[in-house]
Chains A and B, each alone.
Chain A
């Protein structure tokens, strides 16, 4: 029993590490070869954690081989466009210039209900509003609405807007984020002064503080535990 616990902990930590090395994609964004690897890894990890008769090393070897295979295939797909087409497939246009391509739907066994469902999920309930719909290699549908149906942007309105930089978190849960402080171009004295202006006695009392490109500071104090 205890062996099972220790084995499960070891396997869990190793699988987490393997998945971290594999990349940051979400399950829904996995390419077919990545999905197969994830499925196989999950199965392989369960076997040695359940059966103590199987050596842990024997269970980990296939996991490591799968990790290397996954990395190798990703590397090949990254470097060769032809290989990428074979491994990941190519995107397929399902709606072209407002016309549903029936033949493509049949070829992909993608029915109209699926298509309408995906369009609704993309906030386009009316198929007449869609100019292009492309089924990506990871199974997600990319939708381009007709010109008259797309949201208005600042360029359309000829508005001059200031480019917003990336806000940086300066204090998180009472702890100063030194790296972000250096990146933001302000110093600790400035920060302390700003905190004093906002009636915050010290950094430890701040739950979250961030600074934007305009040097505007956002501060939220920690909640009073006595309240």
Chain B
């Protein structure tokens, strides 16, 4: 009986922790995405300095997340996000509107994909 309970407890802990990690990734990426939406509005209205500052704030937030996410997620996904951030900040710095918008879109897509890849869906399983 004791060993059965241990096995069940083990499964509950492992499955519970993976669900918790997926939920945390979803909520934390949501916060970053909200900031990026604000960056998009700032770029659209040519507020470059404010956009640059917002990107820096978002990036600082992201670096904190990066350390935590790297424990559970494939490092190549995180590297792609990192590269996209660097490109975006340079485009904004030199006020390249079309490039900034394109890179922002890429970054948003990459960030949206992270929680999506962790959800329990048939296409992810197969």
Q: Please give the residue numbers on chain A whose beta carbons come within 8 Å of chain B beta carbons, in ascending order.
A: 52-55, 57-58, 61, 64-65, 68, 71-72, 75
- B2-10, B28-36, B42-50, B90-98: which one contacts chain A? B2-10
Interface residues, chain B, with chain A CB atoms under 8 Å away:
3-4, 7, 10-11, 14, 18, 70-76
> In the complex, what residues of A have CB within 8 A of residue B11's CB?
68, 72
Listed by A's residue number, 29 A-B pairs whose Cβ atoms lie within 8 Å are A52-B75, A53-B74, A53-B75, A53-B76, A54-B74, A55-B70, A55-B71, A55-B72, A55-B74, A55-B75, A57-B71, A57-B72, A58-B72, A58-B73, A58-B74, A61-B14, A61-B18, A64-B10, A64-B14, A65-B14, A68-B7, A68-B11, A68-B14, A71-B3, A72-B7, A72-B11, A75-B3, A75-B4, A75-B7
The reply to whether B73 and A55 contact each other, CB–CB distance below 8 Å, is yes
Chain B residue contacts of A52, Cβ below 8 A: 75
A55 cross-chain contacts in B, Cβ below 8 A: 70-75
> Which residues of A are found within 8 Å of B75, using beta-carbon distances?
52-55
Tell me the minimal C-beta distance from A66 to chain B in angstroms: 11
List, in ascending order, chain B residues with CB within 8 A of A64's CB. Answer: 10, 14
Least Cβ distance of B99 to chain A in Å?
28
> Which chain A residue has the least Cβ–Cβ distance from B11?
A68
Which 4 A-B pairs give the minimum distances between C-beta atoms? A53-B75, A68-B10, A72-B7, A53-B76
Knowing that A65-B14, A68-B7, A71-B3 touch, tell me 14 more A-B residue pairs with CB under 8 angstroms: A53-B74, A53-B75, A54-B74, A55-B70, A55-B72, A55-B75, A61-B18, A68-B10, A68-B11, A68-B14, A71-B7, A71-B10, A75-B3, A75-B4
Looking at the assembled complex, report how far the CB atom of B111 sits from the nearest CB atom of chain A, in whole angstroms: 18
CA distance A21 to B19 in the complex (A): 26
Which residues on the A side are within 8 Å of B74 (C-beta)?
53-55, 58
A57 and B70 alpha carbons, distance in the complex (Å): 10
What residue in chain B is nearest A62 (Cβ atoms)?
B14
On chain A, the residues within 8 Å of B72 by CB distance are 55, 57-58
CB neighbours of B18 from chain A (8 A): 61
User: Of all chain A residues, which has the CB nearest B73?
Assistant: A55
Name the distance in Å between B118's Cβ and chain A's nearest Cβ. Answer: 11
CB distance from A59 to the nearest CB of B (A): 11
How far apart are the CA atoms of A61 and B22 in the complex, in Å? 14
- Nearest opposing residue in chain B for A67, CB measure: B10
